[in-house]
Chains A and B, each alone.
Chain A
Amino acid sequence: MLCKLSFKNIKKSFKDYAIYFFTLVLGVSIFYVFNAIESQTVMLDVTKSTREIIDLMTDSLSAVSVFVSFILGFLIIYASSFLIKRRNKEFGIYLTLGMSKRKISMILFLETLFIGVISLGVGLIVGVLLSQLMSLLVANSFEADLTSFVFTFSKSAFVKTLIYFGIIYLIVMIFNTINVGRCKLIDLLYAYKKSEKVKLKNPILCIIIFIISCVLLGYSYYLVTAGVNKITSDAKIFIPIILGALSTFFIFFSLSGLILRIVMKMKNIYYKGLNSFTLRQISSKINTTVFSCTIICLMLFITICVFSSSLSIKNSMTANLKTLAPVDIEIKKTLDIPIEEIDNYGYTYEQAMDSKLSVRQTLEKLDFNPNLYFTDIIEFNLYATNDITIDKTLGSYYEKIKKEFPYLSYSTPESFVKLSDYNRVAKLFGLEELTLDDNEYIVVADYDQWVPIRNGGLKAGTKINLLGKDYYPKYDHVVDGFIDISNNHINVGFFVVPDDAVDESIRQQNVLIANYKAKSDKAKKEIEEKIIDLNNHPYANNTTIGASSKLSIYEASVGLGALVTFIGLYLGIIFLISSAAILALKELSESADNKERFRMLRKLGADEKLINRALFRQIFVFFMFPLLLAIIHSVFGIMFCNYILSTLGTDEVLTSIIMTSIFLVVIYGGYFVITYLCSKNIIRERR
């Protein structure tokens, strides 16, 4: 009997709450898809280093999944308690008929069970199907060949999804039971009759609050952009976040009171068609939904930032590789580690002894003959002295820059390269070759943050004294270039000086740059594997030698790019569907409430067109209001993200913003359209 009742209830409300069911299915399937990635990557033919990144990714994804399950849990609890509230009268009737509260809880329990089982079932089926598509994306992201299409099914992801959602539904059932136990019959029966008091907020207070929150918001915007160097510690980042969240709330709070007031003053607009009705509808609801508006706005804001940043990281990760890693390998080792200081730096005696040798000599000790495997070999030293540190090379500009960036390490010794060495490297790299007079130096840098700092020092004409001789800058700006291969512009600057300016007493590092003696990618990979194998050589622990290769940089970039994209995609989709679903559910239930009001409007003779337009506007405002502020937030949020990420040297912002917008329009816009169509269906007069 109870079973039949709850089953019929679901069937009855299914049409109105299809969007809730749809969101559940979506949530389940996305949860499965992202957790199933692990099993798909098993099939991929990738190198060891890529495999490591994949492991890192699956670990991060499962960590994120915990967070995601919290978000989805809140969404489901919120939505179901919300849907129950709407059925007060129904429960009231059950109670008057003598049904016990326990039985009503039972009905709800069964309903949740039915919905849970169905949504889990459908969601998992959809998830398994979607994850087949995902495997293409995974293969593509890791640039692995998907030789043959294999239907993958991840048992672990399947079980995990079952467990996580099982727990969520269990919590929902507990919540529902508590909710039902608490309510009184009189409230259940007459809840819908209580007319909500429409309070107009004090306009002057609203204006004051609005102005104050705008100022606060402006200040937090300033903090994350122009005033970003005021954020000097990790804790201070919370100042703009908290300020932003608070001012968002108060902006919604004050605007909800103000907009109505303002439009009411414009009589010709207010008393036109159904405008007065629509506006009152909106403002009557916004009074009670300021809080959820704020949450949704902030969630959208996070979505936009996470998504666009992850995309721009990915894009920039792979974009610069060709120019920034023009040779196959760069091997580096520190020279002349003082034996008396090995304990301070954590070196062993053997490593200190080895530091007298060049890269080539060490390689030979490792039984690796560079000439056999390498071509285009360039070997040179980098020089440094504790006498010449960054603060000294900035000269008179130092005081000014210190005020602006107090936390840069200004006591780091500068690096020097001989002109002839640099020119050899520049030729191989395809960079501009340089010339110098006897007493001149040039700074080479390409790190966006550092270039202006360096330029400041150069403009000041800072003189440096190297081994007793003075040198002056040749140019008042840095020359673009680098010697370390990497995936980004991260050269903070080194000094190119005449060959006789330095001597071996201050040599600091030995560098070997080379290409692999191989034509095909496969042969190159073999050499690469050989070099990686050197780590297992008995001598390996006795040296501080380190290498970065084009292949490893490339794989790391691709892998890291894929990692951030997947996490960004995962979080972005979950946040977006959660916020859109909350809005949609709220609107749909309001529409059910408004059925009477719209019927009234029809009796007054309002056209269907007019009514639909009023409904559209109402829903549109509710979807756009939080989005608009979220977009404004995001402009500054993305600027801040780029500031932070510029440590990684990202610069592909536009494409990621376009991608984010498309993503936003499709999911959020989709929810909006569905909500409108469903609402229209609800208020339509059936005759």
Chain B
Amino acid sequence: MFCNIKITTNELYRYKMGTERNDFMENILEISKVEKYYGNRSSLTKAIDNISFSVSKGEFLAIMGASGSGKTTLLNVISTIDKVSSGHIFVDGIDVTKLKGNDLNKFRREDLGFIFQDFNLLDTLTAYENIALALSIQTVKANEIEKRIKKVSEDLGIKDILKKYPYQLSGGQKQRVASARAIITNPKLILADEPTGALDSKSSRMLLESFNYLNDEKGATILMVTHDAFTASYANRVIFIKDGKIFNEIRKGKSSRKEFFSKIIDVVTLLGGDLNDAL
């Protein structure tokens, strides 16, 4: 019953929005000529200045940029937390810039998974309950929740800490719980905002390895925003943003992580001083 509704509502969006399903089926995210302005007529700031790119299914994309380059704004408009000034964002063929009210909530609930720099776990709930909440909002049955959490906690190595509260966890553990919460709903797209920002280097590595695992083994599509070259080197592709525009784009291809890391460093150097502090 519920399954049927889910399928048809997707169709419904398309019908309502009058948008055509994108030809490139593997493109999970399609950003087309997005602009975002702040301020008023007298002092206009372009946080995003005509950016277009696409993310295909199963890709792990990092967006790099100095602070103020517009990368977080970009993530916010993709996640529908913020609205675009112009342009379109298609997630799996649906124009999310046109969604409103509960459709928006439904979209976030079912199609997106969030991982934040400051974890955003609810401190009153245990790790288990934090993960479960994402499912119970989707009215998943309790025993199904249990099954899925068991699986995902094994994958991310957080099985032993499920009963603990956020304040009892280290930053890395918290971030892996947040990741578990993000992927447990099988979202089409996982959005990570500076996920290693609050972590030490060891925890960062462990988290990024979990990302790789999710990306390789589970086929999760991840879009990560970071200013840290090391973090970005775990991705398949890195897009550099400067002053709201795409500055450069590099792919990992067949190179190793270390080689990819030095490639990124090269671009960062090219970008100029602003990103040097990110190293």
Name A's B-contacting residues (CB within 8 A).
195-198, 267-268, 270-277, 280-281, 284, 597, 600-610, 687
Which of B102, B133, B141 lies at the interface centre, i.e. has the most chain A CB atoms within 10 A of its CB? B133
Residue B93 interfacial (CB < 8 Å): no
User: Which residues of chain B have C-beta atoms less than 8 A from A605's C-beta?
Assistant: 105-110, 112, 137-138
Q: Does B214 count as interface, using CB distance less than 8 angstroms?
A: no
Q: List 14 A-B contacts (CB under 8 A).
A: A195-B123, A198-B123, A274-B136, A276-B125, A277-B133, A280-B124, A280-B129, A281-B124, A601-B133, A604-B114, A605-B112, A606-B109, A607-B105, A608-B105
Instruction: State the Cβ distance, A478 to closest chain B Cβ, in Å.
Output: 65
By beta carbon, the residue of chain B nearest A606 is: B137
B13 proximal to A (CB < 8 A): no
- Whether B139 and A198, one on each chain, are in contact in the complex, defined by CB atoms closer than 8 angstroms, is no
Partner of A604, one of B123, B134, B140, B145: B134
B201 within 8 A of A: no
Q: Which residues of B contact A268 (CB under 8 A)?
A: 141-142
- Contacts A277-B122, A281-B124, A605-B137 given: A267-B105 contact, CB under 8 Å? no
Q: A272-B142, A273-B136 are in contact. Are A603 and B120 (CB under 8 A)?
A: yes
Asked if B167 lies at the interface with its beta carbon under 8 angstroms from chain A, I say yes
- Closest B residue to A274 by beta carbon equals B137
B143: A residues at CB distance < 8 A: 267
Find chain B residues with CB under 8 A from A607 CB: 102, 105-106
Q: Which residue from chain B places its CB closest to the CB of A269 in the assembled complex?
A: B142
A154 to B145, CA, bound (A): 68
Instruction: List chain B residues, Cβ under 8 A from A687.
Output: 83
Find chain B residues with CB under 8 A from A274 CB: 133, 136-137
Residue of B with least CB distance to A599? B120
The 8 Å CB contact of B125, one of A196, A277, A603, is A277
- Knowing A277-B122, A281-B124 are in contact, say whether A195-B167 is a contact too (CB < 8 A): yes
Interface size counted on chain B using CB atoms at 8 A: 37
At the interface, yes or no: B199 with Cβ under 8 Å from chain A? Answer: no
Check if B136 sits within 8 Å of A271, measured CB to CB. yes
Chain B residues contacting A195 (CB-CB under 8 Å) are: 123, 166-167
B159-189 residues with Cβ-Cβ distance < 8 A to A are: 165-167, 181
Nearest chain-A residue to B112 (Cβ)?
A605
Bound: A276/B140 CA distance, A: 13
**Any chain A CB within 8 A of the CB of B81?**
yes
Q: Does B259 contact A (CB under 8 A)?
A: no
A274 and B135 alpha carbons, distance in the complex (Å): 10
- Measured CB to CB, the nearest residue on chain A to B106 is A605
- Which residues from chain B contact A609 at a C-beta distance below 8 Å? 102
Q: Which residue, of A273, A275, A284, A605, has the highest number of chain B Cβ atoms within 10 A?
A: A605
Give the 6 A-B residue pairs with the shortest CB-CB distance, closest first: A605-B109, A605-B108, A267-B142, A280-B124, A271-B142, A195-B167
- Expressed in whole angstroms, the minimum distance between the Cβ of A389 and any Cβ of chain B is 70
Q: Give the residues in chain B near A270, CB-CB below 8 Å.
A: 142
Q: Which residues of B contact A601 (CB under 8 A)?
A: 133, 137
| B125 surroundings in chain A (CB, below 8 A) | 276-277, 280
* A267 CB contacts on chain B under 8 angstroms: 142-143, 146
B136 → A minimal CB distance (Å)? 5
Chain A residues in 8 Å Cβ range of B141: 268
Q: How far is the CB of B224 from chain A (nearest CB, A)?
A: 17
B81 near A603: Cβ-Cβ < 8 Å: yes
Q: Is B132 an interface position by the 8 A CB rule?
A: yes
The CA-CA distance from A608 to B102 in the complex, in Å, is 7
5 extra interface residue pairs, beta carbon distance < 8 Å, beyond A605-B107, A687-B83: A198-B124, A280-B125, A604-B133, A607-B105, A608-B101
Chain B nearest CB: distance from A195 CB in Å? Answer: 4
Across-interface contacts of B114 in A (CB, < 8 A): 603-604
- What's the Cα separation between A117 and B170 when bound, in Å? 50
- Which chain A residues border B109 with CB–CB below 8 Å? 604-606
Residue of B nearest to A609 (CB): B102
Which residues of chain B are within 8 angstroms of A276 by Cβ–Cβ distance?
125, 129, 132-133, 136
Q: How far is the CB of B118 from chain A (nearest CB, A)?
A: 10
Give A93 to B130 CA distance when docked, in angstroms: 33
Question: What residues of A have a CB within 8 angstroms of the CB of B102 in the complex?
Answer: 607-609
Contact status A284-B124, CB under 8 Å: yes
Task: Please name all residues of chain A whose beta carbon is closer than 8 Å to the beta carbon of B129 when the two chains form the complex.
Answer: 276, 280
Of B101, B122, B129, which is in contact with the most chain A CB atoms at under 10 Å from its CB?
B122
Contacts of A272 in B (CB 8 A): 136, 139, 142
Q: How far is the CB of A431 from chain B (nearest CB, A)?
A: 70
For A198, list chain B residues within 8 Å (CB): 123-124, 165
Inter-chain CA distance A455–B20, complex, in Å, is: 94
